[in-house]
């Protein structure tokens, strides 16, 4: 007789199904791995983004086309917002610093918050951010675009250059180490919307959820007022975020906020509960029930021996529990009767 291969209802060999299940199961993140991963990923992103050839002539032609397209839609409002904001000194300076700093500060802050408060969902939400950024690189290669402030045919104000604010790599001395024609899509919008939605769907405090919605809206005003982006660049950022979200949902089979709050493989004592963050671990419940059953069995045996002197029956062999409850690939042995 030939060897039989155990298969699952999906038709995959059991070991392969177990591996597939393990890869798609949210696991507790490791702090040093995450720090290294984020640092290396951002370094690679910056390297690739800045290595894109600065096709100035094509980027300016694309900017003219975007500007004409917005005019045809009756939504070419960037210049009006740019000039209005620039007329209020303290406001535009604040917007310059907002553009230069919060893009990084808020994103890192949300990552830390997810790691500490939602470890089971962290990997999925982080992967959305990574995929959003990765697909944006294609946009920089395939569609070089000059920001409004660099358009030679229009009277946009480069607010960083005029007000001499620091921190932005879009103007001044730092512009020589940053690709100036990578405006489409806007990752200021892609990242801020990622932050805002993560806060909105996972935070419990109403004020935090409101801030989550206001953050990407404020970022849209800032990128337009500082003449760093057209509003259509923001649409490109939203499309990139939608792509990243769709891929992650297909991989995990659920929206990230529907995944368990506490993941498998956490530190001892960490809860591994459902999406609402309440309840106890299934493993702990099974262990408690098993202990109670064993105690009851021991009590019954002792009572029988004391009354009739009967020899106690052998204890039933324990069941082999799956490491991953609900895993069809893991074997389960029934107790011996």
pLDDT in tens, 328-337: 444 444 444 3
Residue 2 has pLDDT above 70, yes or no: no
Task: Give per-residue pLDDT as tens, 232-281.
Answer: 999 999 999 999 999 999 998 888 888 888 766 554 444 444 444 443 33
11-50 per-position pLDDT tens digit: 555 666 666 556 666 667 788 888 888 888 888 888 887 7
* Residue that has been written with the tokens 């917005």 in this structure: 70
The full DSSP string for 322-336 is -SSTT-TTS--PPPP
For residue 192, report the phi and psi dihedrals to the nearest 5 degrees: -65, -35
Tokens of 311: 């020899």
**Per-residue confidence (pLDDT) for residue 15, from 0 to 100:** 63
Domain spans in the chain, listed from the N-terminal domain onward: 55-258
Q: CA 23, 26, 30, 34: dihedral to nearest 10 degrees?
A: 80
Q: Is the pTM of this model over 0.95?
A: no
Calculate the CA dihedral of residues 190, 150, 76, 225 and round it to 10 degrees: 60
Residues 198-220, mean pLDDT to the nearest whole number: 97
185 cis-preceded (ω within 30 degrees of 0) = yes
| Structure tokens belonging to residue 284 | 């702990």
């Amino acid at each position: 007789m030939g060897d039989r291969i155990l298969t699952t209802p999906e038709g995959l060999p059991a070991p392969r199904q177990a591996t597939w299940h393990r890869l798609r199961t949210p696991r507790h993140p490791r702090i040093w791995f995450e720090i290294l991963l984020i640092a290396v990923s951002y370094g690679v992103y910056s390297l690739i983004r800045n290595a894109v050839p600065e096709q100035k002539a094509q980027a300016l032609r694309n900017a003219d086309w975007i500007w004409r397209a917005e005019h045809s839609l009756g939504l070419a409002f960037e210049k009006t917002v740019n000039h209005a904001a620039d007329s209020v000194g303290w406001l535009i300076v604040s917007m310059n610093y907002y553009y230069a700093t919060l893009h990084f500060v808020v994103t890192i802050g949300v990552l830390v918050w997810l790691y500490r408060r939602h470890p089971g969902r962290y990997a999925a939400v982080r992967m959305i951010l990574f995929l959003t950024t990765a697909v944006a690189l294609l946009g920089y290669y395939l569609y070089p675009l000059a920001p409004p402030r660099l358009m030679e045919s229009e009277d946009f104000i480069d607010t960083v250059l005029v007000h001499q604010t620091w921190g932005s790599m879009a103007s001044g001395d730092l512009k020589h180490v940053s690709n100036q024609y990578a405006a489409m899509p806007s990752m200021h919008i892609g990242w801020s919307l990622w932050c805002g939605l993560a806060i909105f769907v996972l935070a419990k405090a109403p004020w935090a959820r409101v801030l989550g919605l206001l953050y990407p809206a404020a970022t849209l005003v800032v990128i337009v007022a500082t003449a760093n982006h057209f509003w259509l660049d923001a649409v490109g950022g939203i499309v990139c975020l939608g792509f990243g979200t769709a891929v992650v949902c297909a991989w995990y089979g659920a929206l990230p906020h529907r995944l368990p709050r506490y993941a498998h493989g956490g530190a001892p004592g960490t809860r591994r509960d459902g999406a609402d963050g309440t309840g106890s671990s299934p493993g702990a419940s099974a262990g408690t029930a098993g202990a109670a059953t064993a105690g009851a069995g021991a009590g019954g045996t002792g009572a029988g021996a004391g009354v009739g002197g009967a020899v106690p029956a052998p204890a039933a062999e324990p069941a082999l529990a799956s490491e991953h409850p609900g895993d069809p690939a893991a074997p389960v042995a029934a107790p011996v009767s």
